Structure 1
Amino acid sequence: MATATRPVGWQRAYGRRLAVTDTLIVIAAVFGAQQLRFGQAADLHIPRISGGGFGLAYTFVSVLVVVAWLGSLKMLGTRSQQRVGGGWDEYRLVLDASLRMFGLFAIAAFLLQVDVARGYLLLALPVGLAALVASRWAWRQWLGRQRAHGRFLARAVVVGEHSKTLHVARELQRDRTAGIVVSAAITERDGSELLPGVPMIGSLDDVVAAVEHAQVDTVVYSGSDLISPAKLRQFGWDLQSRGIELVVAAALTDVAGPRLHARPVAGLSLLHVDSPEFTGARYITKRAFDIIVSGLALVLLSPLLLMLTLRVRADGGPALFRQQRVGLDGHTFTMFKFRSMVMGAEAQLADLLAASDGNGMLFKMRDDPRVTPIGRTLRRLSLDELPQLLNVIRGDMSLVGPRPPLMSEVSDYEAWAQRRLLVKPGITGLWQVSGRSDLSWEDSLRLDLYYVENWSLADDMVIIWRTVRAVVESRGAY
């Protein structure tokens, strides 16, 4: 069995590594920007800024920027134990902390009438921010390799009502990035295993003894009516005295952190959940982002689009394949793709259904005989989807969103699945960066609904970046 380092120990050590890297990057970015912007005079004169009746050396300003930047990263919890090592929140906080610091710096310079050279700041911010994000990504790759060898992991026991415990254990096993390995479970039922490899130990009558005997780092409490609030409080105290971390799993799943707000009321920890927004300024911003990025992409990729158009037409037939899909609020639209199959491919579908490699709802074949030679290349690199940039410009689709469904799929939707139609479908989305055709229907739908409920522009940018990686690696593309 893999050995585990206590969460507090490894997370603090990992946080110190991040702190050292952050410090080196910020110093290099700020003082590098100063050197590139001003150089070094032959008489070693330090360039000075003036305004408001006083002057400051740029070196002193750079020191202030470095201290403020590092302080902002610290205050916003970019290296906190709950943030590092998994999820997108770490990157979002790094971006947020950096932009807030430079925004406050600009306001302070304006109020003090200090004429700071804009080129100096415009060099330091993007370079430093890009380097910070890249370093966090690199550290995560290192952490992933360590976890693959059984290090930097938290071994956990899941405690609570059987059905809730089963759900929590499955979700933790699904997402390995959290670094939590479910090693055992304690419920009100008797049995040998909760899941394969997750034995049932002890009972709810003597949880502390069972947990202590299991030699774990973390206890995940999934909830149970058999454990009273007073007993749970005592349970938390007992775990604290033994250096074991207690994590309480909320029954509400697939809700992103920014929508959750903990609030203590009358000794209770109430979890407030913001309602998802489907209109307003955020979606106006999303539409503007779609138009600008897709417009630039069409201009920059126009030579490639022309070349692909001529190559597809050389196989005989039109370059574009048009298909009716279901979009926002259930309205249908014509989706464009480069044609990747022979003419009359739809008529051959009935003979191939039995050989489908899809997820039950969608027809997919790894070696579909109807795909043309150029079509295989287009699909492997996802180049067949480039014409959908026109759909984005027209307003039928977004750059990021749920997968655009067929009308036959939507007709079989249950009522709750209709929520994926509350936003525009996307060229890419969580479904594409999480496995694409290799996903089950349930996982694909779950990811789409998670996106609908928790969309943000920062997450869209991360998904676009992950899409580039998925396309390069050709994961799940056929």
Structure 2
Amino acid sequence: MTSDVVVMFLAFVGGFALRFSTGLFQGPSEFLRAEHFSTLVLFVPVWIIVHGLNGLYVPRVMGTVFDQASGLLKAISLASLLILALGFYTQTNYFMEKRLVHLFGWTIALSLNVPLRLFLLRRLYQSQFGGHKKLNRILIVGAGVEGTRFLQRVRSSEALNYDVVGFVDDDPAKHGNEIDGVRVLGPVDDLPSLSEEAQADQVFVAIPSLGQEGTLAMMSRCMKAQLPVRLVSDILHLIASDTQVETIDGVPTYDVRTEGGSDLARFSKRAFDLAVSSALLLAFFPLFLFIAALIKIFSPGPVLFKQVRAGLNGREFTMMKFRTMRLETDDSIHREYATRLITGEKLDFADEAKDKEEVFKMTKDPRVTPVGTILRRTSLDELPQLLNVWLGDMSVVGPRPPIFYELNHYKEWHRKRLRAKPGLTGLWQVSGRSTVPFDEMVLLDLYYIDHWSLKTDLEILFRTIPVVLSGEGAY
């Protein structure tokens, strides 16, 4: 962080000098004055915040040069644009009339910061961890091709401070054998005790065949042993690429954390929910009235459909939607659909002749009214849930709230998605919505719960807009 502030200061002074002290441009010469340096009060927090949001202050595994250079280019460019926009917004003469200073400053910042971080800090990292600090002892779960390849890449990297102390694998034939000089210690079920015996500091999982349930179960065991866990896998390929993803020689690894939300985090999320729900309720109020009138005209009965759902930690709450079905409809169709969805059976209710296809949504529900079909297709039937968000029963972003009879078919690891307030939208909605299989949907929900941030909420919220407009996966 200190080096970034120094670079920003040098870029500011250098950009000003190039513009006004070289004689290359028209206009009178100008010297730096106290009021110019006062603008650094605005520069410093913007610069640091943007770099922080791009993960440049998080201790990371050293990735490829391209990865690091791309992150720096993105952070420096965004910070420069925000500072310039701030000048226009505040109508500060310095920003308005001296935009070339920004261009030169941006160039100088890139010229200094990229080599500084890529080479000088990389060498410092090597000297600190490689020569004078204890190596991190790691276990690799998976003694197959992927695990062996990961071992070779760890060994070939000069910047990593890892010492691979063992493999963990479920194949009994491999137990006790050595792979490239590293012993296979035992099965995955014994991971907590094996890690203690090996005095491991961290676990890298490289078993693509574990599947969602096995991977999550293994994570849970590792977390009980209080070990940091990283996935060397593309199992989370549906997640945005900039959410806690680090690379080792081009291999993506995903951080697995169980961060209990702090009071500040809960407060900030609640403040975000109140701000968004209040703004949208005001903006959509005329639309609320229009939809209510349509429902009343074409289908006698109440405007709102209210249903008891499972909220945070399984607590009951009444969820509201615009009514899209006829009155006194039988819920047996949905019960059967929910059972098939959760257990992974075939789900095509629209056309039983297509029994070889898996459909993860009821594409033709006879209970839905014509107006209801439009509301569902456009997701407008969900708008009243903004009231649930405003009341505190739901959040803008989070897992979708299940009906209580759906919980009867949940596996034990499925119930972990109840650890967060249910939301209007979430990771699985922007990753295919109804076309995402249930196990993958839960996996995405759990990843969101363990990696929540306001930045993530904003990204998911903005990614929801094109998904809703396109009607992708909605019925």
TM-score (norm 2): 0.52
Q: Deviations over 1:14-62 (max 9, x none)?
A: xxxxxxxxxxxxxxxx99xx9xxxxxxxx9569988436xx68x9xxxx
- Go from structure 1 to structure 2 and tell me whether the alpha carbon gap of 1:75 and 1:386 turns closer, same or farther (over 3 Å shift): closer
**1:67-466 paired onto structure 2 within 5 Å:** 94=74, 98=78, 117=92, 120=95, 164=142, 228=178, 231=181, 249=205, 274-316=257-299, 317-345=301-329, 347=330, 349-350=331-332, 359-360=341-342, 364-466=361-463
- Distance in 1 (alpha carbons) for counterparts of 2:33 and 2:91: 8
**1:7-86 paired onto structure 2 within 5 Å:** 50-51=33-34
How far 1:231 sits from its partner (Å)? 2.7
- Distance in 1 (alpha carbons) for counterparts of 2:28 and 2:275: 44
Q: Deviations over 1:338-384 (max 9, x none)?
A: 11111222x2x436877889624698420112211111111111111
How far 1:389 sits from its partner (Å)? 0.4
How far 1:455 sits from its partner (Å)? 1.2
How far 1:414 sits from its partner (Å)? 3.5
How far 1:418 sits from its partner (Å)? 2.5
- Go from structure 1 to structure 2 and tell me whether the alpha carbon gap of 1:424 and 1:117 turns closer, same or farther (over 3 Å shift): same
How far 1:410 sits from its partner (Å)? 2.2
Contact 1:322 1:337 survives alignment (8 Å): yes
- Distance in 2 (alpha carbons) for counterparts of 1:463 and 1:473: 16
- Go from structure 1 to structure 2 and tell me whether the alpha carbon gap of 1:102 and 1:441 turns closer, same or farther (over 3 Å shift): closer
- Distance in 2 (alpha carbons) for counterparts of 1:321 and 1:396: 16
Q: Deviations over 1:192-211 (max 9, x none)?
A: xxxxxxxxxxxx8xx99xxx
1:215 equivalent in structure 2: none
- Distance in 1 (alpha carbons) for counterparts of 2:394 and 2:181: 52
Q: Deviations over 1:398-429 (max 9, x none)?
A: 00001111111223433333221111000000
- Go from structure 1 to structure 2 and tell me whether the alpha carbon gap of 1:351 and 1:417 turns closer, same or farther (over 3 Å shift): closer
- Distance in 2 (alpha carbons) for counterparts of 1:69 and 1:336: 38
- Distance in 2 (alpha carbons) for counterparts of 1:372 and 1:412: 29
Kindly, what percent of the aligned residue pairs are identical?
A: 33
- Distance in 2 (alpha carbons) for counterparts of 1:292 and 1:368: 35
How far 1:118 sits from its partner (Å)? 8.5
- Distance in 2 (alpha carbons) for counterparts of 1:49 and 1:116: 20
How far 1:230 sits from its partner (Å)? 5.7
Contact 1:340 1:384 survives alignment (8 Å): yes
DSSP-derived class of the 1:475 partner: coil
- Go from structure 1 to structure 2 and tell me whether the alpha carbon gap of 1:357 and 1:48 turns closer, same or farther (over 3 Å shift): farther
- Distance in 2 (alpha carbons) for counterparts of 1:443 and 1:286: 25
Amino acid in the other structure paired with 2:319 = M
- Distance in 2 (alpha carbons) for counterparts of 1:74 and 1:429: 22
How far 1:385 sits from its partner (Å)? 0.6
DSSP-derived class of the 1:476 partner: coil
Contact 1:223 1:249 survives alignment (8 Å): no
- Go from structure 1 to structure 2 and tell me whether the alpha carbon gap of 1:118 and 1:312 turns closer, same or farther (over 3 Å shift): farther
Gaps of 5+ in 2: 1-14, 20-25, 104-138, 153-165, 170-174, 184-203, 208-214, 220-228, 232-242, 248-253, 348-360
- Distance in 1 (alpha carbons) for counterparts of 2:338 and 2:469: 25
Q: Deviations over 1:132-182 (max 9, x none)?
A: xxxxxxxxxxxxxxxxxxxxxxxxxxxx99x9478xxxxxxxxxxxxxxxx
- Go from structure 1 to structure 2 and tell me whether the alpha carbon gap of 1:226 and 1:465 turns closer, same or farther (over 3 Å shift): farther
Q: Deviations over 1:68-104 (max 9, x none)?
A: 99999897799x965989xxxx88994698459979x
Amino acid in the other structure paired with 1:311 = L
Contact 2:146 2:206 survives alignment (8 Å): no
Contact 1:420 1:449 survives alignment (8 Å): yes
- Go from structure 1 to structure 2 and tell me whether the alpha carbon gap of 1:48 and 1:423 turns closer, same or farther (over 3 Å shift): farther
How far 1:477 sits from its partner (Å)? 0.6
RMSD (CA atoms): 5.7
Gaps of 5+ in 1: 1-29, 35-42, 59-63, 110-114, 129-159, 167-184, 188-203, 209-220, 234-247, 263-270
- Go from structure 1 to structure 2 and tell me whether the alpha carbon gap of 1:68 and 1:328 turns closer, same or farther (over 3 Å shift): closer
Aligned residue pairs total 317
DSSP-derived class of the 2:368 partner: coil
Q: Deviations over 1:222-246 (max 9, x none)?
A: 865566476369xxxxxxxxxxxxx
- Distance in 2 (alpha carbons) for counterparts of 1:384 and 1:280: 33
Contact 1:260 1:273 survives alignment (8 Å): no
TM-score (norm 1): 0.51
Query: Which has the higher mean CA deviation after the structures are superposed, 253-262 or 455-464?
Result: 253-262
